[in-house]
Structure 1
Amino acid sequence: MFDNLMLKLDEVVTGILGEWDILTTLILGSIICFFIYNVLSSRDPDAHPMLLARQAQASPVRQEGESAVFRSQSAPHGMPLNSGLNVKDPGDSKWSRGRDGDLRDVWRRVVTGKLDKDGKETGEKGKIFTILGSEKVIEHELADINRQINLIGQSIKQNGGKNVAVYLPNSVELLATLFACAFYDLTAILVPYDLPIKKIISLLHESKADTVVAAVGSFPFGVMTKSYPALKQLIWVVDEGSKHMDWNEVPKGTGGPVNVSTWQEIVQDAAPSAGTDLPVINRNVPLTKVLAFSPSSKLVEYSQANIIAGTAGQLSSVPTSQRFTPADLFLPVDSLTNIYALVLTLAALYSNSSVALNSVAGKSPDLVLATKGVAPTVIVTSPEVLSKVLSEAKARMASPIYKIVHWFQTRALIEDGSMPNSTIFSRPFDSLRPKLGSGISKLRTIYISEQIEEQSTHLSAQNLSDLRIYTGARIIYALASPLVAGAVTQTSVFDYRVDQMEKRSHLGAPTTCVELFFKDKGQYTTTEIASQGEIYARGPAVVGEEADLGIIGKMKEDFTLSVQPF
């Protein structure tokens, strides 16, 4: 029996070896190489699949005509939503719960630097940069910005200002004015930049501004004073090329007692020792609000509690390994008058990350040009900007060989659940990828938001997957509303899944400072198997604590939000 078995085995081996040729060698070699590649390239997924299978938590009961209330898994029912930064004053026990904080605490953290677990200063501080063109990058001393905050705040208050309209592109002066308003009990009004003069005047009337901080020459002074007599004070922010001109002079015939000054003169005319120390905080004085305008030009009043809750939500809604750190350089490519971009910037500042500001940031800048001169690790931008980046990258990387490489990288994302590594096969195409930043790209995270009330471009899950491969960065895709500071919902940073049946990506689960539910509307009603209807948001980051977002949505099986076109 054994001899017969060995004889048959010998015949099989002899037959195989007798017919062996170069084709057989190639086939066997390919199989071995494929096996070795899978062994060497296999990695654990970035997130356990079960964490992506159920991304939000539903309340056990619901009201008639409404769905269950959905919350982030990090803010379960029975616990309060995240409302603040847990700020602890000197002498507070490290075991006690800290204050929620306000905008003044954000800047104080920037100045003092990172704190360790025991509340002691580590000496790690972020930096603030201004990008001028593609070559020049200016680093601002925190002490100088601190002084500007004090002197500008004092000047506005001494001249009777109360409601301060900020009409500036992304700049250090915009942030300094915002913090000056917080420290000196002034109301900041964020006016979208680069608008027609008639529109600017209309927004000033609606917001009842008495002081304007604006880029020099951004609107005609004579038209402004004639059309808006309530203006008491105007502070021009003068660029380097216009400093030789006298911007304090009030043209004849304009009428109205308007106090005109320049930012630079207010700062330079003061004594060197003036304004070095921040004012003492009086906790008994009510906090002022921050006013901004929605994409449809509706005035929205945010309390500082709203903004701080939104900031805290951004800090706690991502895994610890992906949060802002002092090693990060954050670049807002969207305008800071957009409350979502502003909240992320505040989150970066509070985390002592470095921040770079570029005046070209706005609705649809060129992302490659906007990132020149620095090497950002985290950016926030709009779907329109990334849609352009995607289309240009696809046109450059359309060769059949790259499509094979792209297939393997997509497979690593979707099936393995991990960001693809750079390999000897992908490196030859690195020069064709979007060049986001100077030198070797360090970009690790891209924040994108779909804005309600705005006809924004909608990205599909496949678009997001391709962008992850082209840029090498993880992507957080959020739903933003003018009635919510920060994001309403946002995708998990480790959610790389692609549903080919969907024309637009889902928008993730609620952040830790917001809960949402649906109210029945028309054909969109909640049943035992589906939660859908008009979306309502509730929580400390929501203006008025609860708001109707005005769009239709539903919860998918994995408890991520899908919305109807708006």
Structure 2
Amino acid sequence: MDVDWITVALLVVIVWIIVFLQPKEPDVHPLILHSQSVISRIRYPDESATYRSNQTPHGQPLLSGLSISRAYEQPKDGDMRDILKLFAQNEKKATIGCVRGNDVEYYGNARFIAEVNKFASTIVELVPGASKIAIALPNNYENLVASFGSAVAGLTVVLPPANTSDYTETVAQTVKQTSADILITSAGVIPSSALEACASMKAVIVVEATHDVSFTSMTSTRPIKSWSDFLSAPSSTDVSASQFNAKSPAMICLSPQPSGELLETEISHSELIAAVGAQMAILPRGKKISPEDRTGILLPLSNAYARVMTYAAMASGSSIILTTSTTSEVPLGALSPGKPTIIVASSTSVQSMADDLRYLTGKTARNSIQFRGALNILRKGRMPFANEFFMHKVKVSEGLRLVYCPFAPGSNTLLAADLSAIRGMFGCSVIVALTLPRIATPITQTHIQDYRDDDGGALETAAGAPLPCLECKVVDVGEHGLTSEDAKGPSGELYVRGPGVQSGGKEDGWCRTGVMARWNTDGTLRVLHVV
């Protein structure tokens, strides 16, 4: 029998690479994963001790902002203008890219800053005295310009929910309910009849698909301007010295309820900046978002978590990659033309990707062996190399190193095995964040180097540790049989407080979440159910 020595040599080289080039030690010391929170030494009756991030132990102040340091000055929290300044510092690399099919349209850093300032000065002249501006746009460049421009001008941004069956009615209902003064929307989204029913609205800005679109068919008693005409209009108002009230609302997020109503959540400037600062600080050195990254946003920008992650990436100097999407059910491969290194995606998108990987690994024995080998490396605490074959099959670009996935109690439940499949085949970390609609910041999130899947159970087994901008505790709930004396770990209703959280009107600052949870022995939170 002839022996193909070339094939044999290649197999030997592959085995050598797998065995000898993979690092032997875990990526992070096991003791770090077994002590992910700082627990207070005292507690009150009928509740657990207070849990904090390891970065802000008890006795130190919670993180309240960007911690911008200057020589001989105390670090300050900053505001939206400081995020712009930090983004502008990476002038050579930082861009905003919009994926349209297989093409990406890039907008330079300098152009973005200039158009934000132009927007801010023009908007205050268009409607003097305006306080609220509704932004009903997909994830695009104009959305970010309008968002930062409105913040610089001192306007509160109103964000209609994206995932609704009748978006036109939702936008109209949003404007009426919040009494927004200005509406920015895409061409063809809102008919003239719907505009007339919004009594508070004083002006409309329409983002046209091309500069040749005519708006003669849109008639209204209120001014209607195209985006290009609005930005080219002369303006002389200087808004650079405008004062920020940290307690005033930065944005109002609306979420649909089963009854058909829209639930309003006001997020102040201080809460937003604390949430952004926490995301910039939480990752360990060498893993932080950097100017070398390209952060892709798959979640709609009407989502508070998507906003926080976008602003955190920009403040870190990262480029931003967007898709013109108004839904959270977008595959990770939709951003591939922009070659993102970081992706912020919904649990639905992550679940879909995991299903595709599971299908591929079961097609052939070779795929199955590769998959099991990667999982074995993960269980030893090491991240395997990315599998280019699988990444090509599911249309995910090479270089992906991190996926953020928000998890809301009661929504789609990911399995730990799903996250292991993505880590193993893509060679990238997955961070899952526990989020609630009425709180700007995630409450907890998993450690970037925590690859444990335990028994492959539901994601609630590892919701992560608190962020540095808040502290958490659980309070006994007798009717649910949950007590802080539980042998499995302190259990009860989750309460949170800190700079990134609304106080809910309570003097002590604690905010009820309605989430029933249990603290694990490693300082991470386990979500049980929601009431």
Alignment-derived partner of residue 436 in structure 1: 396
Output the CA distance in 2 between the equivalents of 1:93 and 1:108.
17
- Does 2:310 correspond to 1:355? no
Residues 55-204 of structure 1 aligned to structure 2 (within 5 Å): 55-88=36-69, 92-93=70-71, 96-111=73-88, 113=89, 125-135=93-103, 137-158=104-125, 159-160=127-128, 161-193=130-162, 195=164, 196=166, 197-204=168-175
Match among 454, 462, 466 for residue 417 of structure 2: 462
Contact kept in structure 1, 2:385 and 2:426, CA below 8 Å: no
Q: Deviations over 1:311-339 (max 9, x none)?
A: 01111111111111110000111011111
Conservation of the 8 A alpha-carbon contact between 1:434 and 1:471: no
After TM superposition, the score normalised by the length of structure 2 is: 0.88
Distance 1:83 1:317 in 2: 13
Give distance in 2, aligned partners of 1:472 and 1:37: 14
Q: Distance in 1 between matches of 2:217 and 2:457?
A: 59
TM-score, structure 1 as length reference: 0.83
Task: Give the Å deviation of 1:207.
Answer: 1.3
Amino acid at match of 1:219: I
> After superposition, where does 1:195-344 map in structure 2 within 5 Å?
195=164, 196=166, 197-225=168-196, 227-240=197-210, 243-247=211-215, 250-251=218-219, 257-270=221-234, 279-282=240-243, 288-294=249-255, 296=257, 297-344=262-309
Aligned residue for 2:6?
none
For residue 445 of structure 1, report the CA deviation from its aligned partner: 0.2
What secondary structure does 2:336 align onto? Answer: coil
Alpha-carbon contact 1:397-1:432 (below 8 Å) kept: no
Match of 1:391 in 2: 355
Contact 1:300 1:482 in 2 (8 A): yes
2:472 counterpart SS class:
strand
SS class of match (2:337): coil
Please list the CA deviations of residues 14-43 of structure 1 after superposition, one character each: whole Å capped at 9, or x if unmatched: xxxxxxxxxxxxxxxx9xx99996555452
Consecutive aligned runs of 4 or more in structure 1 exceeding 3 Å deviation: 33-42, 281-288, 294-297, 429-433
SS at match of 2:213: coil
- 1:351-430 alignment runs, 5 A limit: 351-360=316-325, 362-368=327-333, 370-398=334-362, 399-415=364-380, 417-421=381-385, 429-430=389-390
Aligned residues of 1:107 and 1:350 also touching (Cα < 8 A): yes
Whether the 8 Å contact between 1:328 and 1:354 is mirrored in structure 2 is: yes
Q: Evaluate the alpha carbon distance shift between residue 194 and residue 167 of structure 1 in structure 2; reply closer, same or farther with a 3 A threshold.
A: farther
Bigger CA radius of gyration: 1
CA contact (8 A) 1:333 1:361 kept: no
Question: Partners in 1 of 2:247 and 2:241 — Cα distance?
Answer: 15
Match of 1:238, as an amino acid? Answer: E
Q: Distance in 1 between matches of 2:251 and 2:99?
A: 26
For the Cα contact (< 8 Å) 1:393–1:432, is it kept in 2?
no
Partner of 2:4: none
Please list, as runs of the form range in 1=range in 2, the aligned pairs for 1:27-42 lying within 5 A after superposition: 38=19, 41-42=22-23
**Which residue identity is paired with 1:127?**
T
The answer to whether the aligner puts 1:445 opposite 2:402 as a matched pair is yes
- Letter aligned with residue 536 of structure 1: Y
Distance in 1 of aligned mates of 2:391 and 2:249: 49
- How far apart, CA to CA, are the structure 1 residues paired with 2:267 and 2:36? 28
Cα shift at 1:377 = 0.2
- Report the AA paired with residue 468 of structure 1: R
SS at the partner of 1:294? strand
Q: SS where residue 298 of structure 1 aligns?
A: strand
Structure 1 contact 307–486 (Cα < 8 Å) conserved:
yes
Mapped partners of 2:456, 2:138: distance in 1: 40
What secondary structure does 1:552 align onto?
A: strand
2:437 to 482, 487, 504: 482
In angstroms, what is the RMSD of aligned CA positions? 2.5
